[in-house]
């Protein structure tokens, strides 16, 4: 594997820094990334396997929903555990030192932000992608690129996030490795550059060939299964001659394919990777813990460290500038023993010290940070300081919402996080009028977290707000959390709308007179016109060109 010298953990002390001093040194050893995938590609299983290899948990829980198995550490919601899917994002932080690091060297700090796998929660994933410096794109060896993966990759490309590709489930029957690489190249225009090549076809995963210059094998890593994949899989590293003697024809095939990749220019180039034109590729089985160490080593060696971020006014906030952070996620109900609310912020610059009083850019008001936590799944640890790239949870931060900026000294405000255009709409009511106070509190809470968008108008009133969502499963989360956290049984009634457009007060009266149209005001004050379908939209645009009906997302069909 080609590793840039400045990325080697043993040379951190002499590597080029984003800035001088302690903050620059700490930022240089941070790696903050997200895992993106289509549902059921093994994302949460991989998240847990990475934690296992970093030795922060002693045993993997394997797959959710399997009888007798534990839920993964990153899935804390009962609905997630029952269904075996992730429907919210969580943050895991741990230290990791590759085998090449000596005892006297400082380990890396890994901030892994797990994301929802289901497409209905792609807006939550989008928020996470505003807070990371790299992404792992997880692909099922049998299914290849799937719709949700493609959608999230486009978000990474738009935001300039380098992507490392992991082809998972190589222990099961699947497609050929060359076929999968061709699909990546053809469908998303990204040149795959494998760092490791599988020995053995999909379903017969024996080990990994480590690729060197011109595709030559530098070593062979042979894996041994453990019971249920609960422990780190033992590895035996050998040279090419020993690998040939052990694996025979399978090794010969792997070496020939590796050399073929080099002949077609599919070798790793760090500059091309950071520029988003190539993607290092690793084959793995998260279930068996095969290839997981190689993923971690690649992340800390090749993924970029935190860098400057552009503010609303076009200026850049360097990592060594005074403290600043951006809130990307607000979540309540993570701890059933405490009805608190966590605002997850990504440190952009400077050093965060618990108890410091910072400024909330959106209101200009001071904000105290007395209760600050690092989070490992559901487990919380008080954090006293944090550095660029770290993710910190602020407790009971009721004034904060996704996209908000906090800063110390030198005023700064980072761009807001845009919302997705909702496609599903449902009236929300409390089953019991006696629970109305709790109902209102729950609605306001879930709205501020961004679980759904809440819409209101005078006709329906506060007792019957309308939920707007990217996918219908978001409504199920609302109902489940209202019952679990507020004791409120909620009733939902679907509305016959499929399109939302931004409008204004001058257009509202005429739009409300049209069949198949209803105007609402969102909690942030934005007026939305909900329309039954694209034909109704086209009719109104043609008959009433003076009315305001703007797409909520740039490039959205109008």
Is residue 4's pLDDT more than 70?
Answer: no
Strand 517-522 relative to strand 453-456, pairing: antiparallel
Residues 70 and 142 in one domain: yes
Instruction: Return the pLDDT at 185.
Output: 96
| Within-domain flag for 507 | yes
Residues 206 and 80 in one domain: yes
User: Mean pLDDT across the stretch 467-483?
Assistant: 84
Whether residue 498 is annotated as binding a ligand: the answer is no
Q: What angle do CA 173, 178, 182 make, to 5 degrees?
A: 115
Whether residue 115 is annotated as binding a ligand: the answer is yes
Note the pLDDT tens digit of each residue in 519-540.
Answer: 999 988 999 999 999 999 999 9
Confidence of residue 486 (pLDDT cuts 50, 70, 90): confident
User: Mean pLDDT across the stretch 31-46?
Assistant: 87
Instruction: Return the pLDDT at 133.
Output: 96
Radius of gyration of the chain (CA): 25
**Among residues 238, 269, 302, which one ends one of the domains?**
302
Is residue 102's pLDDT more than 80?
Answer: no
Note the pLDDT tens digit of each residue in 229-264.
Answer: 888 999 999 999 999 999 999 999 999 999 999 999
Number of domains into which the chain is organized: 3
Note the pLDDT tens digit of each residue in 284-302.
Answer: 999 999 999 999 999 999 9
Structure letter (DSSP) for residue 249: H
Tell me how many helices (H) and strands (E) the chain has.
Answer: 14, 30
**Among residues 245, 269, 302, which one ends one of the domains?**
302
Whether residue 114 is annotated as binding a ligand: the answer is yes
Instruction: Return the pLDDT at 90.
Output: 63
Instruction: Return the pLDDT at 506.
Output: 97
Candidates 316, 348, 311; CA nearest to 27 is: 348
**CATH number of the domain within which 497 lies:** 3.30.70.3280
Angle of helix 292-302 versus helix 43-53 axis, rounded to 10 = 80
User: Mean pLDDT across the stretch 494-513?
Assistant: 96
Instruction: Return the pLDDT at 12.
Output: 43
Note the pLDDT tens digit of each residue in 41-99.
Answer: 888 889 888 888 887 776 655 333 333 334 444 444 454 444 444 434 467 888 999 87
Note the pLDDT tens digit of each residue in 417-465.
Answer: 876 678 899 999 998 888 999 999 889 878 877 778 899 999 998 889 9
Which range marks the domain in which residue 193 is found? 5-97+108-302
Instruction: Return the pLDDT at 33.
Output: 94
Whether residue 117 is annotated as binding a ligand: the answer is yes
Alpha-carbon distances of 22 from 10, 97, 250, 357, rounded to whole Å: 17, 20, 49, 21
Q: How far apart are CA 146 and CA 314, in angstroms?
A: 36
357, two tokens: 């009083």
Candidates 402, 336, 342; CA nearest to 373 is: 342
Residues 256 and 336 in one domain: no
The dihedral of CA 367, 371, 377, 381: what is its sign?
positive
């Amino acid at each position: 594997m080609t590793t840039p010298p400045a990325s080697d953990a043993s040379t951190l002390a002499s590597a080029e820094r984003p800035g001088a001093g302690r903050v620059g040194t700490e930022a240089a050893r941070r790696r903050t990334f997200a895992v993106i995938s289509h549902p059921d590609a093994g994302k949460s299983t991989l998240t847990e396997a990475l934690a296992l290899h970093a030795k922060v948990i002693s045993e993997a829980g394997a797959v959710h929903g399997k009888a007798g198995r534990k839920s993964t550490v990153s899935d804390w919601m009962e609905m997630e555990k029952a269904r075996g899917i992730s429907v919210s994002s969580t943050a895991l932080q741990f230290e990791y030192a590759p085998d090449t690091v000596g005892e006297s060297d400082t380990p890396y700090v890994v901030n892994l932000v797990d994301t929802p796998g289901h497409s209905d929660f792609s807006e939550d994933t989008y928020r996470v992608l505003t807070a990371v410096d790299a992404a792992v794109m997880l692909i099922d060896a049998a299914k290849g690129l799937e719709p949700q993966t493609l959608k999230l990759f486009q978000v990474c490309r738009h935001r300039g996030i380098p992507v490392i590709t992991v082809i998972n489930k190589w222990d099961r029957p699947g497609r050929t490795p060359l076929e999968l690489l061709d699909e990546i190249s053809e469908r998303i225009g990204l040149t795959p550059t494998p760092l490791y090549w599988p020995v053995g076809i999909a379903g017969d995963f024996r080990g990994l060939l480590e690729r060197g210059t011109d595709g030559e094998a530098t070593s062979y890593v042979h894996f041994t299964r453990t019971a249920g994949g609960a422990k780190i899989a033992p590895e035996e590293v050998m040279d090419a001659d020993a690998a040939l003697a052990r694996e025979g024809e399978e090794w010969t095939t792997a070496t020939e394919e590796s050399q073929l990749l080099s002949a077609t220019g599919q070798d790793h180039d760090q500059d091309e990777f950071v520029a988003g034109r190539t993607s290092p590729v690793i084959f793995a089985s998260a279930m068996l813990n095969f290839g997981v160490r190689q993923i971690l080593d690649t992340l800390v060696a090749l993924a970029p460290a935190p860098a400057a971020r552009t503010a609303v006014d076009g200026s850049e906030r360097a990592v060594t500038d005074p403290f600043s952070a951006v809130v990307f996620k607000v979540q309540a109900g993570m701890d059933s023993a405490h009805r608190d609310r966590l605002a997850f912020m990504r440190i952009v610059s400077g050093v965060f010290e618990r108890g410091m009083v910072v400024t909330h850019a959106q209101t200009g008001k001071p904000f105290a940070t007395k209760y600050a936590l690092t989070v490992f799944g559901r487990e919380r640890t008080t954090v006293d300081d944090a550095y660029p790239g770290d993710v910190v949870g602020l407790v009971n931060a009721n004034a904060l919402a996704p996209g908000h900026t906090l800063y110390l000294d030198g005023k700064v405000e980072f761009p807001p996080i845009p919302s997705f255009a909702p496609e599903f709409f449902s009236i929300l009511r409390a089953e019991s009028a006696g629970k109305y106070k709790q109902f209102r509190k729950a609605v306001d809470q879930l709205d501020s977290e961004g679980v759904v968008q809440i819409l209101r108008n005078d006709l329906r009133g506060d007792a019957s707000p309308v939920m707007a969502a990217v996918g219908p499963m978001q409504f199920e989360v609302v109902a489940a959390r209202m019952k679990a956290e507020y004791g409120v049984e909620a009733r939902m009634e679907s509305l016959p709308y499929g399109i939302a457009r931004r409008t204004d007060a001058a257009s509202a009266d005429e739009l409300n007179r049209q069949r198949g149209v209803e105007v609402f005001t969102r909690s942030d004050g934005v007026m939305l016109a909900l329309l039954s379908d694209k034909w109704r939209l086209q009719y109104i645009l043609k008959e009433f060109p003076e009315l305001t009906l703007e797409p909520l997302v740039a490039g959205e069909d109008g």
